[in-house]
Structure 1
């Protein structure tokens, strides 16, 4: 079965990386959520994609220069979805983990440390994973592949997957060189043959960001390991045709 991961929650219908988006993903039948984490000025692991708050909130400034208290006061739906009337906010990773205790969803955590290295982020995230006993339900991904190697050194039981957006030669070999159990390629960067060959080598393939119906059907037909989408509800309905 192809697992459906809701990209930043149900980001196509709700403000991205908010509890509202994650709750909607659960209601829509997603198997897991994908979210992004950074560190605040006071060392809190916060769930937000951009380096700044400008695009997705009514505030401005760099995430790592604001405290969690300051971030919590921002409205997280200002620019992303004007039609969404309920005021949402930026959650902490701890808050998301507390919610995960009440369901069985998987959680793909993208470490946003390819530009800003956020020293110590890997240890902090994994420590929180341990606290909530989520080792079997968490996947750590990043465009910073050195960070994934470090994550595996800290906790070998953690599943990791490199994110990438260009064509890789033998992606299964590259994933193995990192100690990763999966790959998260941009959809256009991987062929059907490469998906099949990678899975045959025991490496999971979860392309992003899969929003078009024809692309979802392509991956369901291949029985691809997973897909990451802004529209988990649409994916769930289409998947039923292939089960």
Structure 2
């Protein structure tokens, strides 16, 4: 599967724009074995698991879930000290096509916990939240 995805990215001229991310960290190993320069980022529900994958894979970034972000000052300081992209996903959001009710959230608060970027299924919910408090 990894080879097919990477072939499609290459065929469409998108390889340099892709960050390969997966809950299956073995899949990221396969990506790196195919293309050593491919950007990879382990995806996990908590930042500890992401960091484990980051170090094992020599990854470029981490993709933790919002409910697994650090909350104590020491962990936040350590995470921010790594100076790596921390692209958080909001695990409480509905998947595409679902009509799940989403609680009101201010995602800017996660910047204080070390998040550098956020990826979302519902960007329209957050368009007004563009600057830090």
Give TM class, smaller chain.
0.7 to 0.9
User: Does the Cα contact within 8 Å between 2:60 and 2:84 map onto a contact in 1?
Assistant: yes
Residue in 2 that maps onto 1:58: none
Q: Which has the higher strand share?
A: 1
Residue in 1 that maps onto 2:30: 150
Query: Are the structure 2 counterparts of residues 223 and 185 from structure 1 closer, same or farther at C-alpha, using a change threshold of 3 Å?
Result: closer
TM-score calculated relative to the size of structure 1: 0.43
CA distance, structure 1, for counterparts of residue 122 and residue 3 of structure 2 = 31
Structure 2 residue 62 is the aligned partner of structure 1 residue 183: yes
Shift of 1:167: 5.8
> What secondary structure sits across from 2:27 in the alignment?
helix
Structure-to-structure mapping, 1:1-243, within 5 angstroms? 121-166=1-46, 168=48, 171-172=50-51, 174-192=53-71, 193=73, 194=75, 197-209=78-90, 213-221=104-112, 224-239=115-130, 241-242=131-132
Q: List alignment gaps of at least 5 residues for structure 1.
A: 1-120
Higher relative contact order (CA 8 A, sep 6+): 1
Looking at CA atoms only, which structure, 1 or 2, has the larger radius of gyration? 1
Shift of 1:150: 1.1
CA distance, structure 2, for counterparts of residue 196 and residue 228 of structure 1 = 22
CA distance, structure 1, for counterparts of residue 34 and residue 86 of structure 2 = 23
Q: CA RMSD in A?
A: 2.7
CA distance, structure 2, for counterparts of residue 223 and residue 191 of structure 1 = 8
> What secondary structure sits across from 1:160 in the alignment?
strand
> What secondary structure sits across from 1:168 in the alignment?
helix
Shift of 1:145: 0.4
CA distance, structure 1, for counterparts of residue 126 and residue 77 of structure 2 = 20
CA distance, structure 1, for counterparts of residue 124 and residue 76 of structure 2 = 24
User: Does the Cα contact within 8 Å between 1:142 and 1:161 map onto a contact in 2?
Assistant: yes
Query: Are the structure 2 counterparts of residues 124 and 142 from structure 1 closer, same or farther at C-alpha, using a change threshold of 3 Å?
Result: same
Q: Which has the higher helix share?
A: 2
TM-score calculated relative to the size of structure 2: 0.73
